[in-house]
Amino acid sequence: MTKLANMLATVVVSVGLAPSGGATRAAQPEGETPTVAGAVSSNLPTRPWMVRAEGWILETRTGSIGPGVEVGVTAGRFVAARLALEGTLMDGPDGAWAAMANARWAPLRTGNGQHALTLAGGPLVVVNNGVHGTTPLAHAELAYLYQAPFGLTVLAGVGLNMALVDSGYVTPDSCLLDCPSEIHRGDLLRQARLAVGWTF
């Protein structure tokens, strides 16, 4: 009788522990790791939208003494942890203006995302320039980007704009001092900009 009781007790204890052990194994499967999508989502900026006030220095070849200075505004949004899409409108002298669209990528940045070295590129068109008229260009830029946790953002960059067509202007033979120069397709025009804005 004692042996029979011991056997029954062993069976009861084994049955009682089986569901608990199964539940533990189901909750903690071996070899499980976070998915890539989960890791990317955790790195998305908490303030994906931004607006910046821009100051530009552009090489325009219009013959003016000193570089061309323009002011503008940029609006954009981060669509991934390191990728943002931006649109810029700029107001230049003598009724000229410009529009630009950029994709900005941050290949190097700090772990908290506050400091980044960025590369940007996209189409740029200068409209109603007093010398060259309307000129489409391809824009490329290297820039430092700062984003404070409370919303302030600062960008400082330099780049090149490549002319996609010839301008209609031809330098006259009689020009003697600080004359406009021609723009030909493939010419590289330098630019620099400083911007301050807000993220939200």
Gap between the Cα atoms of 106 and 143, Å rounded: 9
Question: What pLDDT, on a 0 to 100 scale, did the predictor assign at position 69?
Answer: 83
* Per-residue pLDDT reduced to its tens digit, 95-113: 889 999 999 999 999 988 8
CA atoms 36, 38, 41, 43: torsion sign? negative
Q: How confident is the model at residue 176 (pLDDT cuts 50, 70, 90)?
A: low
Model pLDDT, residue 71: 95
**Residue the block writes with tokens 């998915």:** 35
Under the banding of pLDDT at 50, 70 and 90, the label for residue 67 is low
Encoded amino acid at 87, one letter: G
DSSP code, position 42? H
* Residue given tokens 């189901």 in the structure block: 26
CA distance 96 to 192: 18
Please give the model's pTM, rounded to 2 decimal places. Answer: 0.73
Q: Are 161 and 138 in contact (CB under 8 A)?
A: yes
Which DSSP string do the residues of 109-123 spell out, in sequence order? E-TTSSEEEEEEEEE
Q: What is the pLDDT of residues 121-143, one digit of tens each?
A: 999 999 988 788 899 999 999 99
Instruction: Note the pLDDT of residue 10.
Output: 52
